[in-house]
């Protein structure tokens, strides 16, 4: 539109000069102007929303993470029963490192978390559209989504190991585990998106590991990001896992001493 208006203005000027002076055509230079184009670009293009968020895009990943962290209940209960019936002592008497046994346990429970996560994703893709709900969009980097699921599973499993190490009875571990997961979910944006909460609640929610996992999923599914975009969240989840395992190992050694 700017270019068209400029061309019309110059044409009118030429016509007025020509009507007043016949030599104006030769002295008035031919001017060609090109319209200036504007291109909008965000300062952080990697955070651009490419998929419109809706109830499915929020609830399916959010409740998947919530369910993954509830694996704390079977893990903690299993560890306490092993101590009570002497299975833990017999496993420690097996030649080799107890770390290998613990690694095998973690691999099993993390596998359950990942399978559970993808079952929920399949529900969002194929079952919810049958109920006239939007289909879940998965983004472009499926490998990064798999890494995220593993990282969330490691964080959830390590939390269950810590709870099972700290408490002595199944009732104590199950009550604390369930209540703590509900609280972390409530403040971590699982039930209600964290962006619409008050500022003080948002600050508390950013400290929740469930919030880290949900942020990573949103970067992948809503912003079509890749592995590089979610590295901070993956780093927090893995650091959370290592810290909790270290605390559990320290408490177990103190108890054996």
130-177 pLDDT, tens digit per residue, is: 998 989 988 888 999 999 999 999 999 999 999 998 988 888 888 999
Domains of the chain by residue range: 1-36, 54-256
Q: What does the alpha-carbon distance between residue 164 and residue 50 come to, in Å, rounded to a whole number? A: 41
What does pTM read for this prediction? 0.76
Given a cut of 50, is residue 43 above it in pLDDT?
no
Q: Which residue has the higher pLDDT, 30 or 100?
A: 100
How high is the mean pLDDT of the chain? 84
Q: Can you give the pLDDT at residue 29?
A: 54
**How many Cβ atoms sit within 10 Å of the Cβ of residue 174?**
18
* pLDDT higher than threshold 70 for residue 44: no
pLDDT of residue 194: 85
- pLDDT-derived band of residue 45, with 50, 70 and 90 as boundaries? very low
Instruction: Give residue 51's pLDDT.
Output: 60
Measured CA to CA, the distance from residue 165 to residue 168 in angstroms comes to 8
The pLDDT-based confidence of 232 (bands split at 50, 70, 90) is very high
- 54 is written with which tokens? 């809706």
pLDDT cut 90: percent of the chain above it: 39
Cβ within 8 Å of residue 123, ≥6 positions away: 60
Can you tell me the distance from the alpha carbon of 152 to that of 69, in angstroms, rounded to the nearest whole number? 8
């Amino acid at each position: 539109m700017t270019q068209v208006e400029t061309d019309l203005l110059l044409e009118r000027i030429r016509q007025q000069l020509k009507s007043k002076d016949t030599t104006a055509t030769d002295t008035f230079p031919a001017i060609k102007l090109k319209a200036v184009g504007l291109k909008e670009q965000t300062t952080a293009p990697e955070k651009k929303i490419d998929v419109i968020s809706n109830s499915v895009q929020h609830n399916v990943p959010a409740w998947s993470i919530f369910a993954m962290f509830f694996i704390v209940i079977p893990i903690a209960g299993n560890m306490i029963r092993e101590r009570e019936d002497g299975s833990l002592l017999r496993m420690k008497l097996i030649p080799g490192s107890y770390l290998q046994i613990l690694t095998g346990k973690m691999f099993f429970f993390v596998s359950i978390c990942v399978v559970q996560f993808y079952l929920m994703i399949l529900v969002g893709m194929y079952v919810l559209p049958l109920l006239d709900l939007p289909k879940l969009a998965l983004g472009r980097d499926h490998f990064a989504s798999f890494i995220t699921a593993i990282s969330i599973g490691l964080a959830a499993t390590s939390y269950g190991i810590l709870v099972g190490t700290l408490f002595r009875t199944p009732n104590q571990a199950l009550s604390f585990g369930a209540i703590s997961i509900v609280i972390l979910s409530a403040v971590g944006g699982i039930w209600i998106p964290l962006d619409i909460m008050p500022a003080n609640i948002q600050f508390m929610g950013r400290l929740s590991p469930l919030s880290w996992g949900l942020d990573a999923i949103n970067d992948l599914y809503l912003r079509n990001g890749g592995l590089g975009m979610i590295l901070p969240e993956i780093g927090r989840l893995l650091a959370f896992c290592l810290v909790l395992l270290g605390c559990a190992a320290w408490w177990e050694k103190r108890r054996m001493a």
